[in-house]
Every structure is written in C-alpha cells, then in structure tokens.
Amino acid sequence: MIKCQDLLRGIKYECIKGSADVMVSEVVNDSRKITKDCLFICISGANFDGHSAAAEAVKKGARVLVISHDIELGESDGITVIKVDDTRYAMAFISANYYGNPADSMKIIGVTGTKGKTTTVYLVKYILEKAGYKVGLVGTIEIIIGDKVIPALNTTPESLMLQQYFKEMKDAGCDVVVMEASSQGLMLHRTQGFVFDYGIFTNIEPDHIGPNEHASFEDYINCKAMLFKQCRVGIVNCDDKHWKQVTEGHTCRLETYGFNENADLRASDLKLVTGAGFLGIDFKVSGLLDMEIETDIPGKFSAYNALVAIAICRHFGVKESDIKNALSGAKVKGRIEMVKVSDEFTLMIDYAHNAMALESLLTTLREYHPARLVCLFGCGGNRSKLRRYEMGEVSGKLADLTIITSDNPRFEEPQDIIEDIKTGIGKTDGKYVEICDRKEAIRYAILNGQKGDIIVLAGKGHEYYQEIKGKKYPMDERVLISEILKEEHLV
C-alpha cells in the first residue's frame, strides 16, 4: 500500500472529496483492471472516456479517483476524488512516484524525429554495450530489458507502462535507457514525470498529420519541441531547416551535429562503399571528436544516424576505438538490413511502407549505381488506397523491376490490393511482375538476381508475422530467405 499524497508529488491538484491522506493498493488507468482500494485515473481517449466509468470504479472498490472534469458518482461514501487540469499529465507523475522514480537512477536518452529514431536507438545501444554499459531500450519494434524482449504496441508507451519498464530496467541493473520519443508520446505527456538526460532531434518532415494525429505541421513541430523543455542536454541536427523552430524556447544546453561546417560535431568526405553482397559508407568526423568511420549501412541518412550516435556516446566516455568497432559491424533489424545470399548481388530488408519512405530508400540506393534496382513490396489491407497508388508510382519510377506481392492483407483480398498497386505503376514505364505469395516472390527475386543488382524487400522490415483475416501468422523474411536458400540448395 502507498499513501495517495505521495503519489501526487509534483502535481497541482484539488481534493474535492474525501482526503488525499489515504492508502491505495495500486495505480490503474484501464477501467477493466480496477481493483479494491486502487487509485483510478480517468483518461479521455480517442474512443473511450474513463470519466464515464467513475461510478463503475466506485462499485468495484476503487479508493481514489483522479479526474479532470465533472463525473457522475452515485453512492460514494469513503471515496477520495482528486481533480487536476489534465489527467494524462498527472498520470505521468503519479506513475513515476508509484514506481519509485526509477529514471532518477539511470541516464535516459530520448530520440525524436520523423526518420532515424529506430536506427539511432539501436546504434546507441550497440555502441554503449560494446563499451560495457547495460542498456535498456524502448522503441517502435520492441522493449528490451536485459534478456527480456517485449513486442511494442506504441513507439512511446503510456506513462504508466513506461514507468513500469523503467522500474524493471533499474532492477535488471541497467545504467542507461535509450528510447524513441514520438510526437504523439510527447503530445500525450507520456514522457512527463522525469527529465531526459539527453534529448535528440534527427529531422522533421510533414508526416503524421490527420484527424487522429496532428492538426498541422506547426502542431507536429511544436510537439517535437517539447522534448527540449524536458531534457538537460539537447543534441540536434543543424542541417534540418526546422531545427531552430524545434528548439525554440529550449531549457537545455544545446549541441549540434551535421554536415554543416558550423556544427559542433561534423561529418565530411562521405564516400559510398560497395563490397561483395553489401553496401556501406565511409566519412570523416571532426569538431568535438576527430575520427574516420566506416559502417555497412548505406546512404547519407546512415551517416546522420551514425553521427548522432557518436554525439551521444561521447558523453559516456566511450573510447574512439570502441565507437569505430561498434559502428563497423552495426545492424538494425528491418532497417536497410543486409542479408547475405550471394557475392554477385545485394539483398536487403527494409520497413519502408509508405511512398515517402520508399522514395527516400530507392533514391539512396540509386546512388550506388546498381546494374538493376529491384523492389519487392505489397501494401496493407484496410488502409488508404492512396498509399498503394503512390507506392506503385514511386517504385515504377525508381526501380528497374518491381515485384508486387502481398503484405498484411488483413480483411481484404490480396489480389485486390495488388490491382491498386498496379494502378500506380501504370502511370509510369516501370516493369513489374506480380507474385501474390510473398515467399514465392522472394524466391523469384533471389533466383533471378543478376550481378550488380540491389534487391530490396520493402514493407515488412522487423515484423515477424502476416496478418490475414484477423489472425497473425508467423512470417519473418529472414526465415523465408533461409528456407529458400536451403530448398534451392544455395547453401
């Protein structure tokens, strides 16, 4: 049991019924999980307002309700009601207090930006672990706590869950936590209740703008900017034209990185590297550190990801040799992830699942002057048809050959989705083949690979399933590739 007053530290509140000097058993934000003597936080969500469950919470035995607007209670003897301006904001502090403020015992790194968040957090984890740190990770793909791996539901979890993860990380002996801080997570106060030691800005482009996300690009920028009022040191990409807007009103010490000659940590002399079945980059680092970096992750955007990882890790006293060695062998699951199948051509897996990401990826790979650029992808069912047309058009323009296949058809027929993609390709002169079964499409790509080809399997990335008619079936492209190589006696 814990005293309600202790949970409310750091929050402005009014006790409008009962007393805050009561003991509660646990903190709950889901009306389905209410238990006797719990503190229940009424959250207004997109589809359900927890305030409407207040009377039900009382019947189930909740001791304290935290609200932000009026509620119907009915019989409520012995109930304490705490009113706050914003229950999501309050929940972040209540959660941190409930779990003993675990973030105070670790160094917390938050990475925000339209692109590069996932790759950056893995690179940082990889480098710091090579240097002897124990690192927890919270991201789009998964949460990693020691040997425990939990598939992620949101890029940035709700504050109650996030603080639970922090507590588990602290108990597991983690020194550092590196996490993706999405604009939604910042906007919904999931990252309040603690201070980031390092806040990172990678870049920003118009994205996530719509009825259930951000009202405008300005709103999107303003949400990203919140990170720099919640961290001690901000590390920002000064090549991005919006970086000053994102850091406006910052309360942290700022450092910059980029190719710009005024950046505190600068990259220069970028070279594209091609080898037997792999692509990479080589570049010089100067300013706050001086070294040369080579990594088997292609493209200029990979230089940015590596550079910001270096900018972060230098604060942890990581030796130059450890940084270089870590980056030379770094690999991020489903993010331009090279899978060696031949010395003749390069095969990679990437999560690019919208037109903007696919265009960026294919444009980058074009710079390596492949004999052919082959793009295999499908589109998700029960999602915007516009995405299918756009992705088809992008691949038709930029790839020499498109292999149209299935992704997560959900409740649609895979062939119907393929027809929509073909509509987009039809606006171009691009060549294509259609093979509905994804494994067979990958088999075709491998068996027809030619010397100097770059083959991209796009859209699935880190995913390990295929969603069909409401059920998730196991499907990991790495496993499919391995099976194909054995079946075709290529290994």
313 and 354 in a single domain? The answer is: no
254 and 364 in a single domain? The answer is: no
Out of 310, 328, 346, a domain closes at 328
Q: What is the mean pLDDT of each run of 10 residues along the chain (491 residues)?
A: 97 95 96 95 88 92 95 83 97 98 98 93 96 96 95 92 98 98 92 98 72 68 93 98 95 98 98 91 97 94 96 96 92 93 96 93 97 97 94 98 97 97 98 98 98 97 94 97 97 85
Out of 98, 124, 151, a domain closes at 98
Report pLDDT digits (tens) over 276-318. 888 999 999 999 999 999 999 999 999 999 999 999 999 999 9
Q: What is the domain extent for residue 268?
A: 102-328
List the Cα angle 320/117/476 in 5-degree steps. 105
Question: DSSP assignment, residue 490?
Answer: -
73 and 123 in a single domain? The answer is: no
167 and 249 in a single domain? The answer is: yes
**What is the domain-level CATH number for residue 128?**
3.40.1190.10
Query: Closest Cα to residue 446, out of 376, 399, 369, 361?
Result: 376
200 and 315 in a single domain? The answer is: yes
139 and 252 in a single domain? The answer is: yes
Report pLDDT digits (tens) over 447-489. 999 999 999 999 999 999 999 999 999 999 999 999 999 999 9
Specify which residues 112 forms β-bridges with: 201
| Count of C-beta atoms within a 10 Å radius of residue 411 | 10
Q: Which residues make Cβ contacts (< 8 Å) with residue 197, sequence separation at least 6?
A: 107, 108, 109, 231, 232, 233
What's the pLDDT score for residue 373? 98
What's the pLDDT score for residue 209? 47
Out of 307, 328, 349, a domain closes at 328
**If you search the block for the tokens 């972040």, which residue do you land on?**
92
196 and 238 in a single domain? The answer is: yes
Cα separation, 260 vs 377, whole angstroms: 35
86 and 199 in a single domain? The answer is: no
162 and 277 in a single domain? The answer is: yes
8 Å CB contact between 417 and 379: yes
16 and 55 in a single domain? The answer is: yes
Domains of the chain: total: 3
